[in-house]
Amino acid sequence: MQKKENISMSVIRRLPRYHRFLSELEKNGVTRISSKELSEKMRLTASQIRQDFNCFGGFGQQGYGYNVPQLRVEIGKILGLQNNFKCVLIGAGNLGRAIMGHMPFEQLGFQLIGAFDNSPKVIGTVISGCKISDYQDIRKFYAENSPIMAILCVPREVVEKISDELYEIGIRSFWNFSHYDISLKHPDATVENVHMNDSMMTLCYRLCTLE
Amino acid sequence: MQKKENISMSVIRRLPRYHRFLSELEKNGVTRISSKELSEKMRLTASQIRQDFNCFGGFGQQGYGYNVPQLRVEIGKILGLQNNFKCVLIGAGNLGRAIMGHMPFEQLGFQLIGAFDNSPKVIGTVISGCKISDYQDIRKFYAENSPIMAILCVPREVVEKISDELYEIGIRSFWNFSHYDISLKHPDATVENVHMNDSMMTLCYRLCTLE
């Protein structure tokens, strides 16, 4: 299995979905699946799936189907899920605490090594084994632990200030839940945004077209 | 402005992004923008933007640029953001409470009219003016208030049972935060999923390719 260079982001963005479907199949005891069956489950065309997989040298046993656990492992390797990239979470409000409590970090390529907030109400509390520390200590923590990614769950008003500070101390990757566009100011940062508002607006559009 | 039929979901999914960028521009006092400037800001090609807008009859004043507030309003109308669709939230844990507290529902086409949980710890509490009620009362609430959409913030183990129950009482639209695929069992439901895991895996891939 070899990565081709310049694989488009739309192919990349389908990989987690393949991984998710394959994990689900594996959980249900399915060990082999044809590209036709997989395509029906995923609502893609079989040719689209073959084309996607060919970007990585292909995994297929044509006519015989894919080995589900093996394909899941291969896609996991391409995604780099074995990496355990060190990350910190900034902003332990409801959303931050939900993420700390429910995201299966280690299955997703990360390891949550710290969480930070400025509220005395949450500083010192522990969620899923991770202690929430005073945001004032972030610089010291970075120097000692070198996290490479920060999850930003802070209010919109402070996200610019906080992302600037984190960038300045050395963090270059962000998982961002606010609508502030970090890459405009820091074009070399790797930013993945979760735009919950966009998703809700899309649902609104779809409800309108039903009527 | 007229909607063409059969507009592809990839165009639709860009509309909230246009809306978001235009809102931001408007907030910063920008009243007019050329498709070239807009395309640079949004990292799309100018021709892509014109093509997208042409799906709705076009908004352009070629050469002169777009009127920002007007374009935002027009796109808002296409998205149906004036609808105030009634919705309920199921599962008022950290994620559910974050959504209740931080989503600007009325700007996104919805109105949160109720929230439900089964934990005595949260039943009776109020977040952003919305009281959390006992999930046992959902049927009665539906009969009296007819919400058309449910936001599902429940644990993975119960999402099948709960979505079945909600479907059975009459709810056909879901904003779903779990990885359970509601549409497989209920193909006529309108489901918008927020796959936070996929987003985190994509970030992992991008970090790998940096190294």
Which tens digit of pLDDT belongs to each residue from B182-195? 998 999 999 999 99
In chain A, residues with a C-beta closer than 8 Å to the C-beta of B195 are: 16-17, 20
Q: What was the ipTM of the complex prediction?
A: 0.91
Q: Which amino acid is at B153?
A: C
The residue with greater pLDDT, A209 or B149, is B149
Domains of chain A, each with CATH number or no CATH: 9-78 (1.10.10.10), 85-198 (3.40.50.720)
Which helix (H) or strand (E) covers residue A109, if one does? none
**Which residue of chain A comes nearest to B208, CA vs CA?**
A80
Cβ contact B17–A195 (<8 Å): yes
Q: Which of B57, B111, B54 is nearest to B84 (CA)?
A: B111
Cβ contact B13–A202 (<8 Å): yes
The residue with greater pLDDT, A3 or B15, is B15
| Unique residue bearing structure tokens 């769950």 | A153
pLDDT in tens, A153-174: 998 889 999 999 999 999 999 9
Q: What is the pLDDT of residue A42?
A: 86
Range A183-188 contact pairs with CB under 8 angstroms and sequence separation of 24 or more? A185/A160
Reduce the DSSP state of residue B67 to 3 states and report it: strand
Cβ contact A79–B204 (<8 Å): yes
Which helix (H) or strand (E) covers residue A127, if one does? strand A126-127
Cβ contact B190–A207 (<8 Å): yes
In chain A, residues with a C-beta closer than 8 Å to the C-beta of B88 are: none
Please, where are the H alpha helices in chain B? Answer: 9-27, 35-42, 46-54, 68-79, 94-102, 138-145, 159-169, 182-185, 196-210
Provide the number of CB pairs (under 8 Å) joining chain A to chain B: 177
Q: What is the pLDDT of residue B1?
A: 46
Q: Give the residue ranges of chain B where pLDDT is below 50.
A: 1-2
| Unique residue bearing structure tokens 């995994």 | A59
Reduce the DSSP state of residue A101 to 3 states and report it: helix
In chain A, residues with a C-beta closer than 8 Å to the C-beta of B97 are: 94
Which helix (H) or strand (E) covers residue A1, if one does? none
Distance from CA of B118 to the nearest CA of A (A): 18
Residues 6+ apart with CB under 8 A from A110: A83, A84, A85, A86, A87, A149, B200, B204
Distance CA B19, CA A136 (A): 36
Predicted confidence band at A63 (pLDDT cuts at 50, 70, 90)? low
Q: Is the pLDDT of residue A64 over 90?
A: no
Cβ contact B198–A16 (<8 Å): yes
Predicted confidence band at A35 (pLDDT cuts at 50, 70, 90)? confident
